[in-house]
Structure 1
Amino acid sequence: MAARGVVGIFFLSAVPLVCLELRRGIPDIGIKDFLLLCGRIFLLLALLTLIISVTTSWLNSFKSSQVYLKEEEKNEKRQKLVRKKQQEAQGEKASRYIENVLKPHREMKLRKLEERFYQMTGEAWKLSSGHKLGGDEGTSQTSFETSNREAAKSQNLPKPLTEFPSPAVQPTCKEIPDLPEEPSQTAEEVVTVALRCPSGNVLRRRFLKSCSSQVLLDWMMRIGYHTSLYSLSTSFPRRPLAVEGGQSLEDVGITVDTVLILEEKEQTN
């Protein structure tokens, strides 16, 4: 197509020149005049070809830019639509995860914390469904005693006493051990032990490294935690602390300032 266009332009550019020559008459055309005529024709042809090529390239670039812009707009719309669908899918997944996983987990955690709080405060009766007022007095009394026994079993409480113990069996003040005198901060071979209680309080006391490890149990008894119901464990790594009377604090691994955790033992029936 381009070759045909060039040939057509060549003939169109040559026609005016031929007409002018014919109006002058038909002179004797020599070789020199013929060459000049051909040069003019080729010069005009080159000029027209240059103009046409520049115009064609400009038109093509303009069309290609328009097509590129349209394609870009289509791609942007397509990408926005895809991103919107992905966001909606992610939002649905997040809502399902919150509804099916996080919410039940939080409710179960809150329920366990509530049960532990009522057990620690001695209000385990709040966890039961209760009993209706009225009805047979004997039946209500029996169900009340049954619920008390179940609450005591779940809380691992000792059985209620029906008789008061004799004064000879009651513990005396002599059963509470005495602690050694607390050394000063400037003393050598001194270690500070922090005791984290179940109530959340943290008690601190200084001991000599050469003290018997039994002094930790005596300290527990002194602040009101019996060794039959509570035990000691290290904070990190979490493991029970082996306390024996023949070993010192340094022997059981307490050579620097240490935090110990006071935990309630699991009661067995």
Structure 2
Amino acid sequence: MASRGVVGIFFLSALPLLCLELRRGIPDIGIKDFILLCGRIFLLLALLTLIISLTTSWLNSFKSPQAYLKEEEEEKHEKRQKLVRKKQQEAQGEKANRYIENVLKPHQEMKLKKLEERFYQMTGETWKLSNGHKLGVFDLPEEPPETAKETVTVALRSPSGRVLRRRFFKSCSSQVLLDWMMRLGYHTSLYSLSTSFPRRPLEVEGGLSLGDVGITVDTVLNVEEKEQSN
């Protein structure tokens, strides 16, 4: 582009000279002389074009390594910037992971544990929060029919307010009440039985029958949570 501009300038500069020569030599110039003059002018322009082109190429040969070095430096700088950004992102990601593991997860687990405790307290099933108590399988005697004699209906009122009823023979061991309570999910290490009125703990022993512990008529017993010692 620069060589073309220079050639254009020289060409425009040569036009006035050409016109001047033509004006001076119009009376004496012939066609042959005119063609020779034009040939000289175009030859001069071609020579100038060649000189300018070579000069431009020579100058570009000096500029190219510098431009290459500059481009290479810019590329290296961009790579360094990308590496720095990548390391910063990895550091931020590792920091976020540590925050999640050390802060968020324990906080969420504690929150869920509190919600679970509150739920079981409301439903009266706090025994589920304890460890190491195996409920096992407790075989209860077959429930006698309604027409059977010497039977008694016992109702268990859980801490949540739910009431369950079952018939037993009065001659059944009083231990069956504890077995029934544990089968419902209330372990004897956390819960006990008490009478409704008057309200007192029910003394249950394996060698005593229901009649022996005072359950001779239909009775309502309360399942109460024991006070846990620290």
TM range, smaller chain: 0.3 to 0.5
Q: TM-score, normalised by structure 2?
A: 0.45
Q: TM-score, normalised by structure 1?
A: 0.39
Greater relative contact order, per chain length (Cα 8 Å cut-off, separation 6+)? 2
Larger Rg: 2
